A = this chain, B = another copy of it.
Amino acid sequence: MELCTTEGYGKVTIEAIAARSGVSKKTIYRWWPAKGAVVLEAMVEMVGEVTQFPDTGDIVTDLRNQMIAVVDYFMTGPRAAVYAGIIAETQHDEALARNLLEQLLEPRIRAAQERLRRARDQGQFAPDADLEMAVDLLYGPIYYRLLLHLGAYSHKQIGALIDLVIGSLGPVRPAGPPPVQ
C-alpha cells in the first residue's frame, strides 16, 4: 500500500513489492497470482480496521460515522486511485472480480444491510423498506463519484445523502419498543 500510494497503482510491479518487502518474486507468486490480488488483500485488511459498523442505536449517526470513514480513507487522497485501480482491473480479470466481491464488498454490504435491518426491526423504518436497495442508494453514489471522476462528497454532503436515503425508507423515529397502539 505504501508503494501504491507513493508510486501510483499502475506503476507498481511484483518486482517492486518483492524488493520493498524483502522477499523473492517467487515467494509472492506462491501466494498471489498477480499484483491486483496482493493489493486487494492489503485493502481488505485495512477495510476491516477502518469500516467497522457501529451500533449506537442511532442509525443516522452510525451510517454517518461509517460512511465518512469509508470516503475519507478510500475515496479521497492517494488511496482513492489505488482502490479505483483495483476496481478497474476487475473489469478484465474475473478471478480478481470474484475476490473483490467475496473478500471485500459482500461482507461489508451484508454488514450494512444487517445494521439497517436492526433499525427496521426497532420500528425506525417502514416494515417493507427495501434494505438491499437502501444499501445501493447509500454506497452507489460514492462509488459512482469515485469511478466517474465526479469528485468525492464532503462530510456535509454525506450527511445529506444519508438523510435523503433514510427519509425514503419511511418515517424515522427514535429506537425503542414500538409505540402502544
A residues apposed to B, CB below 8 Å = 9-10, 81, 84-85, 87-92, 97, 100-101, 105, 130, 133-134, 136-137, 139-145, 147-150, 157, 160-161, 164-165, 167-169
Contact = CB atoms under 8 A, between A and B. Distances in A.
B147 A136 contact: no
A149 to B, nearest CB: 5
A100 to B, nearest CB: 7
A56 B133 CA distance: 27
A79 to B, nearest CB: 13
Given A84-B91, A143-B143, A164 B148 contact: no
A27 to B, nearest CB: 27
Copies in the complex: 2
Contacts of A101: 148-150
Nearest to A169: B164
Contacts of A150: 101, 105, 136
Contacts of A139: 144
B130 A160 contact: yes
